[in-house]
Amino acid sequence: MTLPINVVWFKRDLRIEDHAPFYQAAQSGTVLPMYIIEPELFQQPDSSRRHWHFIHDSLTALNECLSCYAGRLIVRVGNALSVFEDLRQKIGTFSLWSHEETGNAWTFKRDTDVAHWCHFHSIIWHEYPSHGVVRRLKNRDNWSTLRNARMNDTIISIHPPFYFINDIEGVPIPSKDDSMFGDNILGTTQKGGRTQAVQTLNSFLKERGKKYMLTISKPGVSARHCSRLSAHIAYGTMSVREIEQMTKNKIKTLEQMNDQESQFFKNNLLAFLSRLSWRCHFVQKLEQQPNIETHCMHRAFEGMRESQYRHDYFQAWSTGNTGYPLIDACMRSLIQNGWITFRMRAMLMSFASYHLWLDWRQTAPYLARLFTDYEPGIHYSQCQMQSGVTGINAIRIYNPIKQSLEHDPEGLFIKRYVPELKDVPHPWIHEPWCWNQSTLSYPTPIVDHKMAIEYVRSQISLRRQQAGFKEQAQRTYNTLGSRRQQTKEPKKTLPHKKQLTLFVPY
Ligand SMILES: Cc1cc2nc3c(=O)[nH]c(=O)nc-3n(C[C@H](O)[C@H](O)[C@H](O)COP(=O)(O)OP(=O)(O)OC[C@H]3O[C@@H](n4cnc5c(N)ncnc54)[C@H](O)[C@@H]3O)c2cc1C
């Protein structure tokens, strides 16, 4: 009897541990593990070579892992439909197994095309949920219950022996320098791969996480004390469930210690767990409303900034030359390292959207290309939130000087990334234009903070006064808003006064 052929299509899930499609495919027949490199994906405005570097490491690791079980990853380059059609002509009918992907508009369309193709050729495509995202959800009332149940479910282990199909033509994994992956990157990229993911989590749970919340907003030290798992989660070298369960086990151990230091560490890990939940919450938004990549969540904000685009402002912001030291240090650090902590991401975005009045659709793809951990669901929601166009979140305008004083008081981070300021004495490092020294080769502030903010307030207030604003905000909240307390009767109305009218100075 010949066993059915099961093609496991790896996408943003580059592991075999806790991998339902791989497990189920292996249980029911022979397995052909496949990764398709889609050159067109790398031509999208939100894709970059930096992503490829991380994927490259992770594919190499995945292939090594499969080889331990006498398998190999079949890598193909091309359009997914053509690759599958070619396969069908060579091996006949097969079943397709993968995780559900909540990606950008391009991958959404590609998946729709693949679904039609499967239907046409009577190929069954078995899709399994990814992390905590629930497909075909009508509203968010029960979402966190469903998500948490999934996180508490048993981790799917690896059950060899596997029956692999290895005699199918593939290509070697293209090099990191291959021209199909776009412009060269200027800095470095975090290393990908399963082993790196496990080591990163272990070091966070052993030591690094002790100072997680103390340092999370400090640009100089957060790279060490944050988990640094975001790229691993984005490319699925570990599942969120694995991370949650290992963290919860650590919390149990700490609870038994009963000393102050352990309690402190435990509280840090609880804060980390809530961020893992936010991660699923944000990706769920894109799952439910794919057009948040291209449209303001609240339509009153359409047309507010688009026509006022200033390329000189974009250039200054995107290269770290705005004349605001912390903004420039953060941007240059991001270009160099492909990662920066949450608050600094929020400040960079807020500065572009409020101070420079740049439309988020012009700046979000640029940041996406710089972030190794680019995750469309988190990214577009956050970019919209930090630009004040959701209608359901407080408007947070970060004052770059205040942020600098609070999070880099000595200016050490600034001096590391903006060497033009290395000789500026401490009190002036946050506002070098006040230093009575004319020889600096550093720009003066591109805009005046106070004047820019006055304009922002007036523009946003005008939009909020439009007829029907509250009603549409309520509809957005019903579909996408977070239900913070999961009581038996979840709140059905938007907390208007607090959320809609407040400008929060940060
Ligand atoms: C404008 C903007 C864009 C962003 N774009 C992305 C993105 O493309 N990809 C991405 O992974 N994160 C994004 N974030 C969220 C956050 O900044 C990063 O997840 C975090 O800094 C990653 O570092 P870490 O893994 O050490 O995080 P930790 O603080 O250790 O958090 C653990 C995990 O929780 C999740 N997480 C943490 N913070 C958030 C948050 N605020 N919202 C949702 N999930 C969160 C991430 O998966 C993260 O890996 C963005 C934030 C802003 C303000």
pLDDT tens per residue, range 462-472: 999 998 899 88
At residue 477 the predicted structure's pLDDT band, cuts being 50, 70 and 90, is confident
Quote the percentage of the chain above a pLDDT of 70: 95
Distance 273 CA to ligand 1 centre (A): 12
pLDDT at position 506? 61
* Model confidence, pTM: 0.95
**Rounded-to-integer distance, Cα 435 and Cα 429, Å:** 9
Instruction: Give 5-128's CATH code, choosing from 3.40.50.620, 3.30.360.10, 1.10.287.3610, 3.30.930.10.
Output: 3.40.50.620
Closest ligand 1 atom number to CA of residue 222: 26
**Look-up of token digits 């995107």:** 318
Give nearest CA residue, ligand 1 atom 20.
342
Closest ligand 1 atom number to CA of residue 348: 1
Give nearest CA residue, ligand 1 atom 39.
275
- Residues 77-105 have pLDDT tens digits of 999 999 999 999 999 999 999 999 999 99
Q: Using the CB atoms, write b or e for 81-98: b if 16+ within 10 Å.
A: eebbeebeeeeeebbbbb
pLDDT at position 497? 41
Q: What one-letter code names the amino acid at 83?
A: V
pLDDT of 211 above 90: yes
Average pLDDT, the chain: 93
Instruction: Give 194-287's CATH code, choosing from 1.25.40, 1.10.3470, 1.10.12, 1.10.760.
Output: 1.25.40
Span 247-261, mean pLDDT? 96
Span 208-225, mean pLDDT? 96
Candidates 200, 230, 243, 361: which one to mutate for ligand 1, based on the most atoms within 8 Å of Cβ?
Answer: 230
Distance 244 CA to ligand 1 centre (A): 15
> Is the separation of the CB atoms in 100 and 127 below 8 Å?
yes
pLDDT at position 140? 83
At residue 496 the predicted structure's pLDDT band, cuts being 50, 70 and 90, is very low
Distance 25 CA to ligand 1 centre (A): 32
pLDDT at position 275? 97
Give nearest CA residue, ligand 1 atom 8.
374
pLDDT of 21 above 80: yes
Span 350-377, mean pLDDT? 98
Cα–Cα–Cα angle for 374, 375, 378, rounded to 5 degrees: 120
Span 6-31, mean pLDDT? 97
Task: Please list the alpha-helical segments (H only) found in 371-431.
Answer: 376-385, 400-407, 412-417
Closest to 391 in 3D by CA, of 475, 449, 268, 332 = 475
DSSP helix/strand/coil, 5 = strand
Tell me how crowded residue 417 is: count the other CB atoms within 10 A of its CB. 22
- Residues 315-339 have pLDDT tens digits of 999 999 999 999 999 999 999 999 9
Task: Please list the alpha-helical segments (H only) found in 291-359.
Answer: 311-319, 325-337, 342-350
Q: What one-letter code names the amino acid at 214?
A: L
Quote the percentage of the chain above a pLDDT of 90: 85
pLDDT of 167 above 70: yes
pLDDT of 54 above 50: yes
Closest ligand 1 atom number to CA of residue 342: 17
For 475, counting Cβ atoms within 10 Å of its Cβ (0-12 exposed, 13-18 middle, 19+ buried), the class is: middle
**Rounded-to-integer distance, Cα 302 and Cα 325, Å:** 31
pLDDT at position 503? 55
pLDDT at position 489? 37
Which residues does ligand 1 sit against, CB inside 6 Å? 226-230, 233-234, 272, 275-276, 278-279, 282, 341-342, 345-346, 349, 371, 373-375, 378-379, 382-383, 386
- Residues 365-406 have pLDDT tens digits of 999 999 999 999 999 999 999 999 999 888 899 999 999 999
Q: Give the class (CATH, top level) of 292-505.
A: mainly alpha
Tell me how crowded residue 453 is: count the other CB atoms within 10 A of its CB. 17
Interaxial angle between packed helices 240-257 and 260-288, expressed in degrees from 0 to 180 and rounded to the nearest 10: 160
Report domain extents, the chain: 5-128, 194-287, 292-505
pLDDT of 44 above 50: yes
pLDDT at position 504? 59
- Residues 275-305 have pLDDT tens digits of 999 999 999 999 999 999 999 999 999 999 9
- Peptide bond connecting 161 to the previous residue in cis, omega within 30 degrees of 0: yes
* Token reading at 439: 């020889």
Average the pLDDT over each of 158-172, 407-421, 431-445 and give the range with the smallest value: 431-445
Same CATH topology for 194-287 and 292-505? no
pLDDT at position 408? 97
pLDDT at position 17? 98
Closest ligand 1 atom number to CA of residue 279: 44
- Residues 110-160 have pLDDT tens digits of 999 999 999 999 999 999 999 999 999 888 888 999 999 999 999 999 999
The more confidently predicted of residues 159 and 236 is 236
Distance 415 CA to ligand 1 centre (A): 25
Candidates 201, 246, 373, 381: which one to mutate for ligand 1, based on the most atoms within 8 Å of Cβ?
Answer: 373
pLDDT at position 174? 98
Distance 230 CA to ligand 1 centre (A): 6
Phi first, then psi, for residue 170 (nearest 5°) are -140, -175
**Look-up of token digits 């100072």:** 211
pLDDT at position 449? 94
pLDDT at position 161? 92
